[in-house]
Chain A
Amino acid sequence: MTFKTQLASAIMLGLMGLSAQAGELTIESWRVDDKALWEEHIIPTFNKTHPDIKIKFAPTAPTEYNASLNTRLSGGTAGDLITCRPFDISLELFTKGQLTDLSQLEGIKNFSDVAKSAWQTDDGKATFCMPMASVIHGFFYNQDIFKELELAVPNTEEEFFAVLEKLKGSKYTPIALGTNDGWETHQTVYTNIGPNYWKGEEGRKQLVEKKAKLTDPQFVAPYTQMAKWSAYMGNGYQSQTYGDSQNLFALGRAAIYPGGSWDIAYFNTNAEGMKYGAFKPPVAKAGDKCYISDHTDIGMGINPASKNVKEAEAFLNWLASAEFAELYTNKVSGFFSLSNHSINVTDPVAAEMVSWRKQCDSTIRLNAQVLNRGKDDLETAFWNAGQAVVNVTAKPEEAAAKVQAILDK
């Protein structure tokens, strides 16, 4: 063998080493926070029954995920299993041929139509991601602070603002919320308190069918409430980040934290010993029907370019099993399995939140389905609107009108 052929074969071997071995699956995900849970619990449990399939969990930061996943899919370097955002974002990947049709897969039978609807074509013929979990929005409160100041958990808006007013006189920050990052004001505030005003699915469908506008009272009212919040937020909230808010609540310096069930895992690991509970978005009058944002948030599909489709299908079928549902719901607290198996939720706060499903009607985030389609970024417009309202730089009506203008195009 000459030196040249030696070198060439060495390079070839090196390249083969870089590419994944047969039977090894890589998972693309935005759940950076869950990396340890996947590596320590989920993958080992899967390997008990499938010892020959190796799995690597390779997450990207949430705000980068869509952009970088697109680049990797187009460039042919994406992993075998793709964690799916709900609705239009994944639908677009499917129409571009970057996700496989899973309709014939055995495990898909374990899910209800509502669960599947987040990852189906408009005609419902093809399902392209295995539903994994939903998240529920609500408010967290520090039980020690509430006990110290003799506050009761608010059920109505009036009670809610009475609690805030009392907290304002104390040494605690009433609401742990910042507007620096923007997205919280939309995803954890507007779509959290909003469904009570627009009557959940009813209002959302009217918006999708263009029978209602964002400038209608039921869609402006949440902004009007948000404008009143600024008086109860921490000093300098305009440059407070999401991480700052989480810290502020975890350190026991703030009493109420508007968020979602996905925060439970964070507080359980970073605020050990803090006693906290959850309450659902307050309704206008006592006895009003309540609505919660119960968002089908996360699913998983197969990259058609994968060389290990058989293994990937085996993994997805396991994702549909009762074993995974139990494991995911209780290990990744705050993500509720969407499968039909009945699961016992062990975390008290997560159990409280999931119990709201029985008392209230569920809806998904306002603009997740159909509305986001188009060249302009409706989601960003919503973030900016929420941010401007809470920063008191725009009136609720102006903010709503600005988003409606993009929706009208």
Chain B
Amino acid sequence: MTYSLKNVPWHILVFLLPGFVIYTLFSALPLLDTMILSFFRDSSLGREFIGLANYQHVLTDPNMSAEFWNALWNNVKFFLIHVFVQNPIGLLLAALLSLKDLRGARTYRTLIFMPTLLSVVIIGFIWQLILSPLWGVSTTIMGAVGLEGWFQPWLGKESSALITLALISVWQFVGIPMMLIYASLLAIPDELLDAAYVDGASPMRIFWQIKLPLILPTLGLVTILTFIGNFNAFDLIYAVKGALAGPNFSTDILGTYFYRTFFGFQSNLGSPTLGATVATLMFLIILAGVMVYFYIVQRRLHRYPM
């Protein structure tokens, strides 16, 4: 058989084309352009090629690198809080929701998912008001149960601002892992569970030894989505603490660091080329994380046919 134009699977190409074009135009090319931009510098002569000097500046200049590593470390903490607070709570909520005889499950599901739909600006504003030492309800509510002395201006202290913001973010987004895990819990065939029940397995054992292994791929997916989301995060910090991410950069994450580098802040003029460098570094960090997940974690996950 010889190859001819007739044998080319035109329909597949045609169907792929719109997605390919849109992705290339609006995602791949800008990404490539950003990377190229990071090798240049703006000078009075125009844009000049300087190789890796921008990277050297970001990673070794005492002031810039201190802020960069600080932002990266804060970002890691921000991510860890999500992994160890948001996802277990999501799992717990999903497990509770999938209980057969839970009354009002739909109402709970909607209510818990609701904050996810709200704008981050609104979330930031509401929580800033709730936690405000001057006008907030926290002192009153805590006073009602005799805990008034425990109130602290959490959003304003270096030691607690980042944790508080991470928990606000967890509160907002806990609905997403809950929904994903809930969906995969519902997909487990009843026969499997019935068989286990007949064999005399307790509900706890059913959860840990049958349900959990079956939803592990979903948990992995949730973790990697959280990782990507957290390392791209910017909006909540910006809405609550501004681009300066105070006090003393204690809530600064890569997104806000990028913003200050690219757009500038107060007397500091922004630099598109240094900004592109930071953006590329962020991309590489996320890429590394995703690769670790795909090559090491996901290969070991066993998918059971259901």
| Docked CA distance A306–B135 (Å) | 46
User: A235 — which chain B residues lie within 8 A by C-beta?
Assistant: 133
Say yes or no: B153 contacts A372, CB within 8 Å.
Answer: no
Nearest B-chain residue to A173, judged by Cβ: B134
| Docked CA distance A237–B247 (Å) | 12
User: B241 — which chain A residues lie within 8 A by C-beta?
Assistant: 180
Pick the most buried of B128, B242, B269: most chain A CB atoms within 10 A of its CB: B269
A12 at the interface (CB under 8 A from B): no
Which chain A residues numbered 326 to 373 have a C-beta less than 8 Å away from chain B? 372
User: A180 — which chain B residues lie within 8 A by C-beta?
Assistant: 155-156, 241, 246-247
Q: Do A377 and B156 form a contact, CB below 8 Å, given A179-B247, A236-B133, A406-B63?
A: no
A67 at the interface (CB under 8 A from B): yes
- Chain A contact residue count (CB 8 A cutoff): 39
B2 at the interface (CB under 8 A from A): no
Say yes or no: B156 contacts A66, CB within 8 Å.
Answer: no
User: B62 — which chain A residues lie within 8 A by C-beta?
Assistant: 409
Say yes or no: B156 contacts A380, CB within 8 Å.
Answer: no
Question: Interface digits, B153-190 against A, CB 8 Å rule (1 contact, 0 not)?
Answer: 11111100000000000000000000000000000000
Contact check: which of A181, A244, A380 meets B265 at CB < 8 Å? Answer: A380
Say yes or no: B63 contacts A376, CB within 8 Å.
Answer: yes
A281 at the interface (CB under 8 A from B): no
Say yes or no: A238 contacts B269, CB within 8 Å.
Answer: no
| Docked CA distance A66–B263 (Å) | 9
| Docked CA distance A248–B164 (Å) | 25
User: A387 — which chain B residues lie within 8 A by C-beta?
Assistant: 246-248
A182 at the interface (CB under 8 A from B): yes
Say yes or no: B158 contacts A391, CB within 8 Å.
Answer: yes
A170 at the interface (CB under 8 A from B): no
| Docked CA distance A89–B242 (Å) | 21
Contact check: which of B131, B267, B270 meets A379 at CB < 8 Å? Answer: B267
Nearest-neighbour CB distance to chain B for A179, whole angstroms, equals 7
Say yes or no: A244 contacts B269, CB within 8 Å.
Answer: no
Pick the most buried of A182, A372, A377: most chain B CB atoms within 10 A of its CB: A377
User: B64 — which chain A residues lie within 8 A by C-beta?
Assistant: 376
Interchain pairs with CB closer than 8 A, number: 112
Which chain A residues numbered 244 to 300 have a C-beta less than 8 Å away from chain B? 244, 247-248
Q: Do A240 and B242 form a contact, CB below 8 Å, given A377-B266, A380-B266?
A: no
- Chain B contact residue count (CB 8 A cutoff): 34
Question: Interface digits, A75-91 against B, CB 8 Å rule (1 contact, 0 not)?
Answer: 00000000000001100
Say yes or no: A380 contacts B154, CB within 8 Å.
Answer: no
A71 at the interface (CB under 8 A from B): yes
A47 at the interface (CB under 8 A from B): no
Nearest-neighbour CB distance to chain A for B279, whole angstroms, equals 16
| Docked CA distance A227–B135 (Å) | 25
Which chain B residues numbered 98 to 131 have a C-beta less than 8 Å away from chain A? 128, 131
Which chain B residues numbered 249 to 306 have a C-beta less than 8 Å away from chain A? 249, 260, 263-270
Contact check: which of B242, B249, B269 meets A384 at CB < 8 Å? Answer: B249
Which chain A residues numbered 377 to 392 have a C-beta less than 8 Å away from chain B? 377-380, 383-384, 387-388, 391
Say yes or no: B267 contacts A377, CB within 8 Å.
Answer: yes
User: A380 — which chain B residues lie within 8 A by C-beta?
Assistant: 244, 265-268
Say yes or no: B266 contacts A66, CB within 8 Å.
Answer: yes
User: A182 — which chain B residues lie within 8 A by C-beta?
Assistant: 244, 246-247
Contact check: which of A88, A89, A179, A247 meets B156 at CB < 8 Å? Answer: A179
| Docked CA distance A70–B264 (Å) | 9
B132 at the interface (CB under 8 A from A): yes
B243 at the interface (CB under 8 A from A): yes
User: A388 — which chain B residues lie within 8 A by C-beta?
Assistant: 247-248
Q: Do A240 and B63 form a contact, CB below 8 Å, given A66-B267, A384-B249, A388-B248?
A: no
Pick the most buried of B133, B157, B263: most chain A CB atoms within 10 A of its CB: B133
B24 at the interface (CB under 8 A from A): no
B140 at the interface (CB under 8 A from A): no
Say yes or no: B155 contacts A239, CB within 8 Å.
Answer: yes
A138 at the interface (CB under 8 A from B): no
Say yes or no: B267 contacts A378, CB within 8 Å.
Answer: yes
Say yes or no: A393 contacts B248, CB within 8 Å.
Answer: yes
B60 at the interface (CB under 8 A from A): no
A396 at the interface (CB under 8 A from B): no
| Docked CA distance A203–B170 (Å) | 49
Contact check: which of A66, A238, A377 meets B153 at CB < 8 Å? Answer: A238
User: B63 — which chain A residues lie within 8 A by C-beta?
Assistant: 376, 406, 409
Nearest-neighbour CB distance to chain B for A94, whole angstroms, equals 13
B56 at the interface (CB under 8 A from A): no
Nearest A-chain residue to B158, judged by Cβ: A393
A174 at the interface (CB under 8 A from B): no
Contact check: which of B153, B249, B260, B264 meets A239 at CB < 8 Å? Answer: B153
Nearest B-chain residue to A388, judged by Cβ: B248
Nearest B-chain residue to A92, judged by Cβ: B269
| Docked CA distance A356–B65 (Å) | 44
Nearest B-chain residue to A178, judged by Cβ: B156
B152 at the interface (CB under 8 A from A): yes
Q: Do A240 and B269 form a contact, CB below 8 Å, given A66-B264, A384-B249, A388-B248?
A: no
Contact check: which of B134, B244, B260, B270 meets A383 at CB < 8 Å? Answer: B244
Say yes or no: A234 contacts B247, CB within 8 Å.
Answer: no
Nearest-neighbour CB distance to chain A for B251, whole angstroms, equals 11
Question: Interface digits, A60-78 against B, CB 8 Å rule (1 contact, 0 not)?
Answer: 0001001110110000000
Pick the most buried of B153, B154, B155, B249: most chain A CB atoms within 10 A of its CB: B153
User: A377 — which chain B residues lie within 8 A by C-beta?
Assistant: 260, 265-268
Known: A63-B243, A179-B247, A387-B247. 5 other contacts (CB 8 A): A66-B265, A239-B131, A240-B134, A380-B244, A393-B247
Subset of 24 A-B contacts with CB under 8 Å: A63-B242, A66-B266, A66-B269, A67-B264, A67-B270, A68-B263, A71-B263, A71-B270, A179-B156, A179-B247, A180-B156, A182-B246, A236-B153, A238-B153, A239-B156, A240-B132, A240-B134, A240-B153, A244-B135, A377-B260, A377-B266, A378-B267, A387-B248, A391-B157
Binding site for A on B (CB under 8 A): 62-64, 128, 131-135, 151-158, 241-244, 246-249, 260, 263-270
In order of increasing CB-CB distance, the 5 nearest A-B pairs are: A236-B133, A238-B156, A239-B156, A236-B153, A377-B268
